[in-house]
Amino acid sequence: MATKRKSSRKSSAKGRKKVGKVMHQYKHGQLKSAGRKKVKSRKQAIAIGLSEARRSGAKVPLKRKSTSKKSSSSRKRS
């Protein structure tokens, strides 16, 4: 029997609805960034949807923290 995994990233119905509405606008070419240029990136459209959902008070996952990679020049060489 397969067991179900619980996802740590959960969002409320209000948040999903807001992101869905924004993605609909994106797919129809109506989504604009800061009211000026049309959004062309799917990732940017999702980010705008999550941001709007957070502003409206919906429960959405936290922002992903950027991970900085160590540069190869900082390693010691023997």
Domain locations in the chain as residue ranges: 13-55
Q: Is the separation of the CB atoms in 43 and 23 below 8 Å?
A: no
| Strand partners for 32 | 38
State the pTM of this model: 0.65
Predicted local distance difference test score (pLDDT) of residue 1: 56
Per-residue pLDDT 10s for the chain (78 aa) are 566 656 566 778 888 899 999 999 999 999 998 888 999 999 999 999 988 998 988 888 877 777 766 666 666 666
CA separation for the pair 40, 46 (Å, rounded): 11
| pLDDT value, residue 21 | 94
Rounded Cα gap, residues 5 and 18, in angstroms: 25
Rounded to whole angstroms, the Cα distance separating 22 from 41 reads: 13
The span from the CA of 50 to the CA of 52, in Å, is: 5
Q: What is the pLDDT of residue 70?
A: 62
